[in-house]
Structure 1
């Protein structure tokens, strides 16, 4: 059973998922700190190049299956036009003050 973004425990992570699913790059970037970083399968990636390729130019979509760590760790059925659908794990670091994501890590679950 999928968890709707509005039902996620962490509102910042919920905004991230909502922006991905709406293909709203402006809202997506607004939820990240200016110096946000990310990794994919354990390797740091260029955030802007990665999101363009894996999310915004390929129709990325997150179906959240479960959450833990107060909503900062998700198991997601992620799909895009490049890779199809795969089960992925996402971990989020929220910047001090709680308003934005300073790092996210994803990889196969």
Structure 2
């Protein structure tokens, strides 16, 4: 069973996941702080380059399976045109209503 993005507990995470699933690059980056950072499988990455490659150019999509830590941690099935589908984990840091960091990787 999946959780609808519009039912996620944290508003900043909800905005980010909704924008990702809508392939709305502007809304996605609007949900982040200007100095936001991210990591993939434990390695820090260039956020814009990673998002272009792993989300927007490849039609990334998150189907959330569960959330914890007041909505700041997700387990989800993530898919894109490059890698297909895989179970992933996502952890978010939120500051002033926007995501300042996210960490993702295989679950």
Do these two structures clear the TM 0.5 threshold for a shared fold by scoring above it? yes
The root-mean-square deviation of aligned C-alpha atoms, in Å, is 0.4
Question: Which segments of structure 1 move beyond 2 Å, counting only runs of 4 or more?
Answer: none
Q: In structure 2, what is the equivalent of residue 40 of structure 1?
A: 40
Name the structure 2 match of 1:64: 64
TM-score, reference length from structure 1: 0.97
Superposed counterparts of 1:1-109, under 5 Å: 1-95=1-95, 97=96, 99-109=97-107
Structure 1: runs of 5 or more not aligned: none
Gaps of 5+ in 2: none
TM-score by length of 2: 0.99
Give 3-state SS (helix, strand or coil) of 1:88's partner: strand
Which deviations, in whole Å up to 9, do the C-alpha atoms of 1:44-75 show, x marking residues without a partner? Answer: 00000000000000000000000000000000
